[in-house]
Amino acid sequence: MDEKGATPFVPVNVYPRSTGEFESATSHEDEIRRKKRQRLFVYIAAFAVFQVVVILVFALVVMRAKSPEVEITWAGVEGLSVGNSSYNMTLIAQLKIKNKNFGDYKYERTAMNVSHGGVTVGEGIIWNGKAEARDTETVVVTATVNSAALSGDMSSRILVLESKAALRGKVHLVKMWGIQFQIMKKRKGVEMNCAMEIDLASGVVQDLDCDD
């Protein structure tokens, strides 16, 4: 057969796309793009809400400066001397300074006052120091106690002493501004008020109690 007279081969199942089918396909693609944009907006909104929540938690919990807790957890007596109308001793007190902040608490030197019946009978020094973030610092304070400021009968064998101190210091918090960090210092203080009984016959400290 002459090649010039051959009939061109036309695929049997190929049909040109109608205008309606083309518009339908275009509408479907537009719908897919619209849904993708909606999902993207939802993700952006969810991320923004998450950021706000994180910032609020950071501001209300992490950046909130709290006062420390201070109390005497143990006390002992050394060199106890008891007369008919006087007594002398060295009071050894173990203090715990609990820092509940997310930053270090640096406290200043202060005095621990020891009194009996409202009269000062001794004093110890709480030296300046630091309680680490979310940690408890233990310090030991010694005070020479004597009854020189008192008068009256010493026949009672139970001596009630009160120990008070006013702790002052600063909480060091890290605040972030963009990619920069800044140390914020917020002053915080706490009053310590503890009472104890000392058996003058044995020198044993009993019934130690501190106000919350």
Q: How many percent of the chain have pLDDT more than 90?
A: 50
How confident is residue 55, by pLDDT bands cut at 50, 70 and 90? low
* Pairing assessment for the beta strands 87-99 and 135-146 based on DSSP bridges: antiparallel
Predicted pLDDT at 4: 54
The whole-model pTM stands at: 0.70
Average pLDDT over residues 112-123: 94
pLDDT, position 134: 92
- 50 confidence band (pLDDT: 50, 70, 90): confident
> Over 70: is that where the pLDDT of 6 sits?
no
